[in-house]
């Protein structure tokens, strides 16, 4: 098994140009020798490059898995902006060609199964390198490292860690939401149980929205609810064994009034089967389209409070609060710029082969946060 990643060839294959593709693609064009944008057709890829001001800086291509596979060479980098279920076939093509892989999604079982083969092939498998997951991990690792320096790993302590992220309309609407990804995906996430820690106990809620509660950020009230399974991140974040979690939740943030505005949606989620919910997703897409004049807002707030038995304590909070512009949505900026940073580190050979998450270590998190800040990403840290 190799211990070093295959040297990058300088060629990047960016797959897909949907809602999350933004200035990150331009950032990749700045550092890569060659960039190919693969889309459903060559014409659509060319139009996307034109819209992004990148005509002539990347090569438009029609995406099919066989066409991509034929084009791959050892050391190439494949960036998947496709839905998560399509990552595994792309990764398989990368492993077969000795190419690297990057995406912003959580690690699926289908991807995880291929990690040993990817490691043996010298391929980097970079995941969770977007906004959420991605920047949220960077914030959490940074806060935990700061608290560990203050409290110590061996000192008994209790802590509360919350991480809430949401894409919301910059100008509140009656629906209290703006779709930044496909409605089917939003509804699917709401149908998935959430597991988290509350009052020191592991808690599971079958319908995440039923655990919605107010959350005040700098005087502004939002609504938040748990999302997915938070518990595995206790280990991923490397929290000291001597510390006891009182609260540990990673969740979703919405505008105040969202729960009430979505009453009819929740009623259908409770009663509907897959076919009815598929129809609901199509209805929501038609009833609440995103227009060129809409502006989105991304709010990510990660907080950590630690209290030691001897009276020592530490608290910290990262806040990212960005609005989209006419040129780029806030969501696209956060996802694509973070992913582009990860690609840059694949190209410079600083990531090891095998599975890498954006925030694998506290030092890497601090480095990447510094680099994102230098790239113009605005966020703030408050400690006390």
- What is the helix (H) or strand (E) element at residue 277, kind and residue range? helix 274-287
Place of tokens 């690609």: 343
Rounded CA-CA distance 351/168 in Å is 33
Please report, to the nearest 10 degrees, the dihedral formed by the alpha carbons of residues 11, 83, 169, 165 taken in order: -90
Question: Do the Cβ atoms of 21 and 80 come closer than 8 Å?
Answer: no
* Catalytic site includes residue 132: yes
- Strands (E) across the chain are located at 11-15, 34-39, 59-62, 77-80, 100-103, 124-127, 157-169, 194-198, 201-205, 213-217, 220-226, 243-255, 296-308, 313-323, 354-357, 380-383
The string over 256-286, giving b where at least 16 C-beta atoms fall within 10 Å of a residue's C-beta and e elsewhere, is: eebbebbeebeebbeebeeeebeebbeebee
Q: Catalytic: which of 76, 132, 136, 296?
A: 132
Q: SS3 for 294?
A: coil
Rounded CA-CA distance 199/217 in Å is 21
Q: How far apart, in Å, do the first and last CA atoms of the chain sit?
A: 46
Question: Do the Cβ atoms of 117 and 97 come closer than 8 Å?
Answer: no
Tell me which residue of 339, 347, 341, 325 sits closest to 133, measured CA to CA. 339
Place of tokens 């206790």: 234
Rounded CA-CA distance 14/336 in Å is 11
- Name the DSSP letter for residue 288: S
Rounded CA-CA distance 272/226 in Å is 22
How far is residue 306 from each of residues 201, 236, 245, 277, 309, measured CA to CA in Å? 17, 18, 9, 42, 10
- Name the DSSP letter for residue 353: S
How far is residue 131 from each of residues 63, 73, 179, 269, 320, measured CA to CA in Å? 25, 29, 16, 27, 10
Active site residues: 132
């Amino acid at each position: 098994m190799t211990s070093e990643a295959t040297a990058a060839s300088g060629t990047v294959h960016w797959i897909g140009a949907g809602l999350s593709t933004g200035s990150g693609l331009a950032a990749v064009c700045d550092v890569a020798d060659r960039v190919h944008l693969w889309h459903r057709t060559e014409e659509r890829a060319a139009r996307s490059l034109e819209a992004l001001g990148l005509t002539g800086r990347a090569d438009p291509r029609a995406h099919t898995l066989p066409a991509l596979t034929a084009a791959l060479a050892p050391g190439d980098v494949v960036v998947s902006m496709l839905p998560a279920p399509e990552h595994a076939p792309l990764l398989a093509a990368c492993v077969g060609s000795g190419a690297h892989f990057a995406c912003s999604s959580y690690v699926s079982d289908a991807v995880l199964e291929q990690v040993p083969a990817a490691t043996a092939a010298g391929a980097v498998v970079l995941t969770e390198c977007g906004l959420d997951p991605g920047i949220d991990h960077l914030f959490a690792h940074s806060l935990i490292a700061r608290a560990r320096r203050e409290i110590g790993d061996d000192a008994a302590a209790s802590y509360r860690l919350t991480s809430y992220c949401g894409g919301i309309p910059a100008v509140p609407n009656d629906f209290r939401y703006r779709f930044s990804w496909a409605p089917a995906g939003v509804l699917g996430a709401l149908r998935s149980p959430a597991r988290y820690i509350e009052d020191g106990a592991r808690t599971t809620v079958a319908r995440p929205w039923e655990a919605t509660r107010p959350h005040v950020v700098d005087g502004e009230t939002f609504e938040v609810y748990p999302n997915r399974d938070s518990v595995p991140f206790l280990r991923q974040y490397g929290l000291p064994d001597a510390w006891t979690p009182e609260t540990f939740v990673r969740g979703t943030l919405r505008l105040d009034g969202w729960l009430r505005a979505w009453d009819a949606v929740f009623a259908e989620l409770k009663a509907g089967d897959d076919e009815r919910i598929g129809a609901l997703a199509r209805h929501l897409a038609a009833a609440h389209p995103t227009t060129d004049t809409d502006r989105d807002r991304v709010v990510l707030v990660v907080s950590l409070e630690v209290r030691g038995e001897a009276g020592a304590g530490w608290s910290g909070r990262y806040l990212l609060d960005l609005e989209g512009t006419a040129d780029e949505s806030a969501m696209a900026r956060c996802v694509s710029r973070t992913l582009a940073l990860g690609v840059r580190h694949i190209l410079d050979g600083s990531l090891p082969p095998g599975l890498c998450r954006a925030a694998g270590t506290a030092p890497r998190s601090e480095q990447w946060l510094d680099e994102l800040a230098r790239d113009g990403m605005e966020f703030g840290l408050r400690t006390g």
